[in-house]
Amino acid sequence: MPSLRLALQQGPAGVPRTVEDGLAALDSAAREAAAGGARLLVTPELSLTGYALGDGLTGRAEPADGPSARAVAGIAAAHRIAVVYGYPELDPDSGALYNSAALIGPDGTVLAGYRKTHLYGGYEKRRFTPGDRLVAQAELDGVCVGLLICYDVEFPETVRAHALAGTELLVVPTALMRPYDVVAETLVPARAWESQLYVAYADRTGREGEFDFAGLSCLAAPDGSVPLRAGRDAALLLGDADTGLLHKSRAQNGYLADRRPGLYAA
């Protein structure tokens, strides 16, 4: 069974002075992750620009195939590592602004893109348009990788939808704020257990503008364990999503097989 080695970047808070600064930080993390044998680097929500930009998010927004996307593709290809990064996406047709994440393959190919479907609080709802496609996924080294963003993972329906669609590793760039540590410490591991998949949860840490980010990034496994857990400081964590353990856990825990969807009408 394939195993995917991944790196979680728990990024320090602070808005990069320019997008180029954000790209430089990503390049450094990709280099370190690749040196540790990782095949996938996961960064926090809006990792290229910073989260607390307010209305300045619009000035840093780009189309999904914009200059930053091409720069990230170059970084991924240079270090031969897949990258999940967050950015404010501008739809050139509608002018809408989305809180987005993209998965770039180790050869620089765009494998998947996702627009956050559940916006958190007035700060996000005033600035972003919610996405309308829940499941975005791609195969990486024989592992089915899916994307959600932050608040999305707090809804059991979103994670279950991924599990039923075949996602084995659910990647969640996040900007979890204090005092909601319970999300990282309790809820994310519960999502991995109840839907029988891995959840890779990469947070910011420290203060940025009005927000105080929680840290506590983690990799939660389907057997109830948490193989990786950060504290409050900036960190790069390395660990493995083992599909052998996943299949064994699914065989022992019947949540997916024992569902009775006919009873679950709204």
Residue written as token pair 């929680």? 214
The alpha-helical segments, DSSP class H, found in the chain are 19-35, 57-60, 67-79, 121-125, 156-164, 181-182, 188-195, 243-252
Phi, psi (deg, nearest 5) at residue 139 = -95, 135
Nearest to 44 by CA among 12, 72, 70, 19: 12
Q: Residue 91: left (phi > 0), alpha (psi -120 to 50), or beta? A: beta
Q: What count of other Cβ atoms lies within 10 Å of the Cβ of residue 20?
A: 12
Helix, strand, coil shares, percent, the chain, to 5: 30, 30, 40
Active-site residue identified among 62, 116, 154, 208: 116
Rounded to an integer, what distance in angstroms lies between the CA atom of residue 130 and that of residue 260? 30
Active-site residue identified among 89, 150, 168, 218: 150
Active site residue 45: yes
Q: Helices 67-79 & 19-35, crossing angle to 10 degrees?
A: 20
Question: How many CA atoms lie less than 13 Å away from 12 in the CB half-sphere?
Answer: 7
Catalytic residue ranges: 45, 116, 150
